[in-house]
Amino acid sequence: MTDTATATTAETFSDTLLGFTLPGRNARGRIVRMEGVLEEVLSAHNYPAPITHLLSEALVLGALMGGLLKGEHAQMTLQAQTQGGIVSLLVCDYRAGAVRGYADFDAERLAKLGANPGLAALFGEGYLAITFETEGRQRYQGIVPLEGDSLAAACESYFSQSEQIPTLIRVASRSGAGGRIAAGLLIQHLPDGEEGRERLHVRMDHPDWEHVAILGGTIGHDELLDPRLSLEAIAWRLFHEEEEVRVQPGAALSRGCRCSAAHYEAIIARFPADEQAEMRGEDGIIAVDCAFCSRTFALAI
């Protein structure tokens, strides 16, 4: 294996994305492990264990998929929603390394499910919407049913159905004495757009992809979550027999709530005066709650 980055760059362990490509197999991937930034996002609300696990998975998926975009203004938003489900809304987004997430749920109904409820029990007849906004502000969205055992399985369905790109995603998370940790791996077969040739991204059974998917599928949860194992080492373990693996250090991750008093003032200023009057309390203040960071902004406008 030829490693084109680690000779001059420190190894990557947590709260930073790592990108890699397999030129000989027309494949690319992302690996991420989240610790401190995960605790920051989750600490905004006192989530019960099943929701903590669900939101941890969503944040990892947001980083993996958002990390495919280029540009500081490009953004990926993942939203899972249902009518009448125990989890009515789950949303997270990623922009240039900044991640945020929030879940709304029925606590009483959740408590009756036990310790490890499945995706169907949490969402029922739900759907997953994945929206990519490019650096040039072009937006495209795919919607798939919330089916399978996990959010990761639903995201794999999105890429195969909406993008027709063979994709493998593995996500793991756990809580322990040291806090919450979550990690994930995403691998895709790259499109081949040469004229006169079948595009690789519509061939789900291409032998190169089958080879890569088999190797990628051997990753274990313990490997992904081991804070002593660098992300470069994970790529090496999986693909050390390939002729070349190119690694590219990605964005450092941070809690990315973009709320501020000025932001909300600008939004409320767009409403007519009579509607702004209805928003005010008896003290004349407009109170705005941010679901992402659990802060309340008192606006005297």
Lowest mean pLDDT across 3-7, 101-105, 242-246, 282-286: 3-7
With H, G, I as helix, E, B as strand and everything else as coil, classify residue 140: strand
- Report the first-to-last Cα separation within the chain, whole angstroms: 61
Q: Of 141, 125, 134, 32, which is closest to residue 84 (Cα–Cα)? A: 125
Class of 16-255 in CATH: alpha beta
Q: What is the pTM of this model?
A: 0.86
Tens digit of each residue's pLDDT (9 = 90 or more) over 100-132: 999 999 999 999 988 788 888 999 888 999 999
Q: Of 198, 184, 149, 172, which is closest to residue 68 (Cα–Cα)? A: 184
Tens digit of each residue's pLDDT (9 = 90 or more) over 142-190: 999 998 889 999 999 999 888 889 999 999 999 877 789 999 999 999 8
How does 83-106 read in b/e, with b if 16+ C-beta sit within 10 Å?
eebbbbebbbbbbbbbbbbbbebe
Domain ranges of the chain: 16-255, 261-299
With H, G, I as helix, E, B as strand and everything else as coil, classify residue 249: strand
Q: Quote the CA–CA distance of 230 and 143 in Å, as a whole number.
A: 34
Tens digit of each residue's pLDDT (9 = 90 or more) over 26-80: 999 999 999 999 999 999 889 999 999 999 999 999 999 999 998 888 999 999 9
pLDDT value at 205 more than 80: no
